[in-house]
Amino acid sequence: MGSKKILLVEDDPNFGTVLKDYLALNDYNVTHAKDGIEGLIMFKNSDYDLCILDVMMPRKDGFSLAQDIRVTNKEVPIIFLTAKTLKEDVLKGYAVGADDYLNKPFDSEVLLHKIKAILQRKETDKSAESEQFEFIIGSFFFNSKLRHLSIGADGEPNKLSPKESKLLRMLAIHKNDLMPRELALTKIWRDDNYFTSRSMDVYIAKLRKYLKLDENVEILNIHGEGFRLVDKS
């Protein structure tokens, strides 16, 4: 298991460097962004296990950044750092999806304990579905590790492309439920824009071709929201 990746967004260069070095000494892989805009770009370009956001920043504050992060990732833990101790701010932080809150100045060891506790909680919370790789979809048997889709477990499998397989797995995890468009775009395509969105539509069309062999299975387009893999069997 590699070291956990942390995105630290802190506009005070001295404090940011000290905190980054301290966390690195404790075996965390830390990326330091100097403001909210840079933080959002870095977040979109990589996967992080936890985000530490300063609240008061130029260009984009921590609350606004957290809201942007939560649009595409509901799971990643967020810790806010703030010099403000106003109750409204603390409540606002939790409202936008914070897991914890630290007032500056704070003891670095306290932050370390909070990080460890949150990450351990997330590890135990990881549902079986995050490891699941075998799915029954109507009369289809799908193995996402092998990227095999077959009629029944013994049927001749179609070998899916990596993107087809990732997309079908995500749909299968959300079977008979909404799979948000932006979730797939950020997890598989790493960006949510016009071009990646069109690309995803092409892959949805490819999956529909594979699945049309079973009339009880279809991928519905939920306008403006995403897709639903329906299994009526």
Other Cβ atoms less than 10 A from the Cβ of 212: the count is 10
Domain containing 113 equals: 5-126
pTM of the model: 0.56
Same domain, 86 and 135: no
Same domain, 87 and 9: yes
8 A C-beta contact, residue 229 and residue 176: yes
From 92, 126, 160, give the residue that closes a domain.
126
**Res 124: pLDDT:** 60
Q: Is 96 helix (H, G, I), strand (E, B) or coil?
A: coil
How far is CA 11 from its chain centroid? 24
pLDDT digits (tens, 9 = 90+) for 76-120: 999 999 886 677 777 788 788 788 888 888 888 999 988 998 888
Q: What is the DSSP string of 143-155?
A: ETTTTEEEESTTS
Same domain, 54 and 69: yes
**Res 128: pLDDT:** 46
Q: How far apart (Å, rounded) are the C-alpha atoms in residues 183 and 177?
A: 13
Same domain, 137 and 227: yes
**What would the two tokens of residue 60 be?**
């984009």
From 106, 126, 146, give the residue that closes a domain.
126
Same domain, 35 and 102: yes
Mean pLDDT of all residues belonging to the chain:
89
Same domain, 157 and 219: yes
Same domain, 32 and 92: yes
Same domain, 80 and 122: yes
Domain count for the chain: 2
Share of the chain above pLDDT 70, in %: 95
Other Cβ atoms less than 10 A from the Cβ of 177: the count is 11
**What would the two tokens of residue 13 be?**
């260069």
- pLDDT confidence band for 1 (50 / 70 / 90): very low
From 126, 147, 170, give the residue that closes a domain.
126
Beta strands, E only, the chain: 5-9, 29-33, 50-54, 78-82, 100-103, 134-137, 140-143, 148-151, 158-159, 178-180, 217-222, 226-231
